Amino acid sequence: MSTNSRRPARAATALAVLAAGALALSACGGSTPGATASTSASVDPTAPEVKEFSVAGYPNAATTQLSLATSEGFTAEYGIDVTLQPAENAPAMLAQIISGDVPIGQVNGFFSVPAVMEGADLVVIGELIRGVPGGQTVEVRPDAGIDSVADLEGKKVAVVGLNSGHQGRIASAMLAEGADPSKVEFVSLGWNEMPAALEQGTVDAVTVIGPSQLQLKNELSTETLLDLGDGMFAEFPDSQWLANGRWARENPNTVAAFQCAVVVKGQQAVNEDQDAYEAALREFGFSDQAIADDKKFIFPAANEPAQIIPDIMSEMGWIDKDFDISTITIPLPDNC
């Protein structure tokens, strides 16, 4: 099947969100959408223009560095007070960022790239996590008769957000096996909805992480169909901090403060202090068993351009031209 023939699969609702966001930005008279913000040379992370703000994200392992940045005093050190605003999925967070409801959110390139290409003004200011083996998996019931990703043709698969990184990787893995991802019915569910949906048979496969992954393994003895952090997806750039571009240009010191406190020092704390990391997991509802079974992600104190994401999107036909993600990636400050 040709790349072009898969393009109609793009979710209409996603296009509606992107178009509405682009119009909203146009009405606000922002600068050129997608333009790279200033480099770290001229910013002062200790003098933030905005001191209190919320960021949208999933209350799970991926945002433990924000918890530690607060509990360890890094945000206070840089003069900012950051609150996590829990979100259900990436499209909702994307809409909040574009509208200015929150300045920053946990949204990866599978959503930011097409949004920018539709005219949204967005920038990537930091990485959250990179994948590890067993960290995020696609699970099926043992009696499902689904032995490979090729068997997903004609099946219903739950992902956290349509046209997401999960859907993209599943589709890419299917293409690698000569299967047709357009024959899969992808549906969007929240993390906590996955176990019940698989148990009740409303979907044939689910994408899971952390407690929901453990629940399925324990209660349904599910089998892992695809590891989203191993093989062709080893160390995959799972999640990034995305910011409203206009807000970032108007508040470069605040962006730098967030980068230093959360992306740099928060990530380092997660990597170096296992007890503090586990305490953060407990705050997010992880049981002792879930923590014991946790597959700790890679938490890079970095903001490397995640070029593999637009490359996969181009392969899938989700975008119709090449995109250099470095053009919307703000480097970390060199004066943290």
**What pLDDT, on a 0 to 100 scale, did the predictor assign at position 91?**
86
Q: What is the DSSP string of 215-231?
A: HHHHHH--EEEEETTSG
pLDDT value for 253: 98
Type of residue found at 217: K
| DSSP at 240 | E
What is the model's pLDDT at position 40?
53
Contact present, 145 and 170 (Cβ < 8 Å): no
For the stretch 123-174, pLDDT in tens is 999 999 999 998 899 999 999 999 999 999 999 999 988 888 899 999 999 9
- Residue 306 CB neighbour total at 10 angstroms: 25
Among all chains, which residue has been given the structure tokens 């946990």?
Answer: 106
**Count of C-beta atoms within a 10 Å radius of residue 314:** 16
| Cβ-Cβ contacts under 8 Å for 88 (sequence gap 6 or more) | 190
pLDDT digits (tens, 9 = 90+) for 223-268: 999 999 999 999 999 899 999 999 999 999 999 999 999 999 999 9
**Residue position matching structure tokens 């333009």:** 35
Q: So what's the pLDDT on residue 20?
A: 41
Cα gap 333→49, rounded to integer Å = 16
Per-residue confidence (pLDDT) for residue 19, from 0 to 100: 37
**pLDDT score of 41:** 58
Spans of the chain below 70 pLDDT: 1-41
The Cα–Cα gap between 1 and 330 comes to 37
Nearby residues of 213 by Cβ (< 8 Å), 6 or more positions away = 136, 137, 139
pLDDT score at 90 = 85
* H/E element, 80: none
Tell me the domains of the chain and their CATH numbers.
Answer: 4-130+236-328 (3.40.190.10), 136-233 (3.40.190.10)
pLDDT for 213: 87
